[in-house]
Amino acid sequence: MTKLSVNVNKIATLRNARGGNIPNVLKVTLDCESFGAEGITVHPRPDERHIRYADVYELRPAVSTEFNIEGYPSEKFLDLVLKVKPDQVTLVPDAENVITSNAGWDTRAHFDFLSKIIDRCKAANIRTSIFVEPDLEMVEYAAKTGTDRIELYTEPYAAHYAQDREAAVAPFVKAAEHARSLGLGVNAGHDLNLENLRFLHERIPFLSEVSIGHCLICDALYLGLKETIRQYKECLK
């Protein structure tokens, strides 16, 4: 079964636009769980423009499903992760000024750096995942770091899905199968939505988890949060 992890960053973005505590990130998080989400993802950035570090500390004891923290592994980020001890940490190569994640790691060039981070997280019994593009060499070097999983950066799949979904998904299937052959779990995320998620899951049915935020929250504006989560989960059956 592929788990649906809801990224609640956009809820925090909406809250931060006006100040105060509406919408309440903790309440929405608990609602997502009650509506069927099997996990919650947060991505605190250095400028805290959406999820704040304080949010992470508040959410950790309240989340009863799987808690995934993603971000660039700066010392500040790692200090948070090692104190909070989520179920999973997803390492992304984001520069401080990017709007959203837009590339996977060059795991060969950053092999030593990533290996040390993986060792620190695994010593704290935190499952690790490295954000990568569907490149077989990047998958291989990710495996060599000792990580538990990779997360496939699916924006290119989503961008080309309407033109030729078979061609769009092909490199992701190959990368996922290669990762599995190396003993890695496979997650996926970025720009997955109700149009393209089912097909991806049909082609890679052994995905451990998909992390979805922006598109899911946008759909919830029209469908409501409960119905939206139900429909996303239907895509994963």
Write out pLDDT tens, residues 42-65.
999 988 989 999 999 999 999 999
CA angle 195, 201, 207 (to 5 degrees): 135
**pLDDT digits 0-9 by tens, 153-201:** 999 999 999 999 999 999 999 999 999 999 999 999 999 999 999 999 9
Asked if residue 101 has pLDDT above 60, the reply is no
Count how many domains the chain has.
1
Token readout for 200 is 């991806």
Find the CATH number of the domain harbouring 110.
Answer: 3.20.20.70
Exposure string over 213-223, b if 16+ CB within 10 A, otherwise e? bbbbbebbeee
Q: Is 151 a catalytic residue?
A: no
Whole-structure pTM value: 0.94
Cα angle 120, 55, 67 (rounded to 5 degrees) comes to: 50
Q: Which of 33, 50, 70, 209 is catalytic?
A: 70
Residues 211-226: pLDDT tens digits? 999 999 999 999 999 9
175 by Cβ neighbours in 10 Å (0-12 / 13-18 / 19+) ranks as buried
pLDDT computed for residue 103 by the predictor: 79
207, with CB counted inside 10 A (0-12, 13-18, 19+), is buried
pLDDT of residue 102: 64
Active-site annotation holder among 50, 151, 178, 190? 190
Domain encompassing residue 77? 3-235
- Tell me whether residue 110 is one of the annotated catalytic residues: no
Check whether the bond before 23 is cis (ω within 30° of 0): yes
Catalytic residue among 33, 43, 151, 209: 43
* Cβ-Cβ contacts under 8 Å for 188 (sequence gap 6 or more): 151, 152, 154, 172, 200, 204, 207, 209, 210, 211
- Could you confirm whether 190 is annotated as catalytic? yes
- Measured distance CA(30)–CA(50) in Å, rounded: 18
Host H or E run for residue 153: strand 149-153
